[in-house]
Structure 1
Amino acid sequence: MSAGTLPRLVATDLDGTLLNSSRAITPRTRQALQAARAAGAEIVFVTARPPRAVRALAAEAGVTGVAICSNGAIVYDLAADEIVTSRLLDRTAANTVAQALAAALPGIGLAIETGRGVLAEVAYTRRLVEDLAYLREVSSVFDGDDPIVKLLAQSHTSTADEMVAAVVARVEGLAEVTHSGGTGLLEISAPGVTKASTLDVLCREWGIAPGEVVAFGDMPNDLAVLSYAGAGYAMANAHHLVLAATERRTLSNDEDGVAAVLEKLYG
């Protein structure tokens, strides 16, 4: 991004980045987003969250258009409440990945995001209050023919970093493996599906170059976007791998770190 040129697109993660620790958007952050929009920038949420967990936040923030959800597997139209595109994990590949996970991490529980809901096995004990209305318990996530937007694996004995290290070589070429900070939680998508690959598709459609993008993130699933953007900022509270790989820094999510950068860029 050349000096004096305003970014044409703001790509921001939500949890641990745009949202504070209370999972809220502060007035300062809302105002900074509005200033960026007034200057002509596109605002795109780029998140691990499913569509159902994004729409209300976008309305609160005054953000319209589309959001990239489920780590890049979904492009979601905020106004229409419609999934525009979805990039699914093949069921056969997902089953092979699940067997590799079970061999490397005995006792794991599995769940899948379908785009509109969650199917969870008994061993997958992660129950978010906001998910309960959309969650169905199943004996196996592979029993039906529901679309697999994201395969989720939960361990009660290993950290997410340990889980990635244990399985990434075993599933190479079959799936993308990452995490977004959930305790003992892996997030698995189709090969090539990342936040950055989907953002690149949007940018090409809109005629926006990577150098015209400013991005913000805090977790390993944000690394691809931070590398893709002309200016990628790690939050002060970011995961150690993100801090090590990202040159630019901003304040923490509890200090309105995204707003601090946007205010300098857009006034």
Structure 2
Amino acid sequence: MTLPRLIATDLDGTLLRGDGTISRRTLDALRTAAEAGVEVVVVTARPTRYVDALASVTGLSGTAVCSNGAVVYDIASRTVVESRVLSVGAAQAVAGAVAKVIEEVGFAVETGGSVIYEPRYRMRFAELPGFESPVQALADLWALTTPIVKLLAHSERHDADFLLAAAEEAAPGLAQFTHSGGPGLLEISAPGVTKAGTLAALCAERGIDAADVHAFGDMPNDLTILNWAGTGYAMGNAHARVLAAVARHTVSNDEDGVAVVIERLFSGH
């Protein structure tokens, strides 16, 4: 069996177990791949600050594609290598269009370093406290001078699949819409920004073809990389759309599905 040159893996629901940890088995499998010269790239919806926190506990290093492709990040040096942000004008236009078709939706701006939210946005990320700041009104978000890595839209009345479909119909072409399974959470990036687009550019810089990439994911925002990579695996716990769209499946994140595949790859080496 030919080894890949690069392994691209999502974090939540994929590399991480349900309790947010990475098992020793999975860390050992990643180490085996890296020692054999296979580059491991984290490709996640999470911001850079979350990757920093995870790396400090697990020792993860290398390159991360963060915020659904908006940021390329060097984990060891904690340096943003490249970013593609959403313009204020586009964010405001998208928010206006989405608010017309979705009741009681709230908005927040992800800057990479923090989340800044208006009063109707009620979702909180308790695992990294201290990185969320309120503003008094929606208009205050558009007066911010910080970069908009992602615009977040949250509804307590609708699930993420509903929000995605509604936003794509209400604001086609204005931005890139996706979700990673957060309850009622829609993630909005600059037009054309996807996990696969950023990963493909990163691979091109390294002279790596899609055929030489193995990818792992579980949510709709992972579909672009799972379909782009030469070999894509849906986790056993993946969203129904992902399981239907991706031919290869591994076991769930809580069963160390990424490690299972990597161990199989190296069993004959």
TM-score category of the 2 structures, normalised to the smaller one: over 0.9
Q: How does 1:1-267 map to 2 (within 5 A)?
A: 4-138=1-135, 139-140=137-138, 141-267=141-267
Residue-by-residue CA offset, 1:71-104 (whole Å, 9 max, x unaligned): 0000111111111111011111111100011001
Counterparts of 1:245 and 1:186 in 2: how far apart (Å)? 21
Q: Give the alignment's TM-score, normalised by structure 2.
A: 0.95
RMSD (CA atoms) = 1.1
Report which stretch shifted further, 124-133 or 30-39: 124-133
Q: Give the alignment's TM-score, normalised by structure 1.
A: 0.96
Residue-by-residue CA offset, 1:24-80 (whole Å, 9 max, x unaligned): 000110111011111110010000000000123235444322100000000111111
Sequence identity percentage: 55
CA contact (8 A) 1:33 1:61 kept: no
Segments of 5+ residues of structure 2 without an aligned counterpart are none
TM-aligned CA distance change 1:93 to 1:137, over 3 Å: same
Residue identity matched to 1:184: G
Residue identity matched to 1:100: A
CA contact (8 A) 1:216 1:234 kept: yes
Counterparts of 1:133 and 1:79 in 2: how far apart (Å)? 23
Question: Once the 2 structures are TM-superposed, how far is the Cα of residue 129 of structure 1 from its aligned partner?
Answer: 1.9
Q: Provide the secondary structure at the position in 2 that maps to 1:85.
A: strand
Q: Provide the secondary structure at the position in 1 that maps to 2:127.
A: helix
Residue-by-residue CA offset, 1:201-231 (whole Å, 9 max, x unaligned): 1101111100000000000000000001110
Report which stretch shifted further, 49-58 or 224-233: 49-58
Aligned length: 264
Large movers: runs of 4+ above 6 Å: none
CA contact (8 A) 1:46 1:71 kept: yes
Q: Provide the secondary structure at the position in 2 that maps to 1:54.
A: helix
Residue identity matched to 1:91: V
Q: Provide the secondary structure at the position in 2 that maps to 1:130.
A: coil
Segments of 5+ residues of structure 1 without an aligned counterpart are none
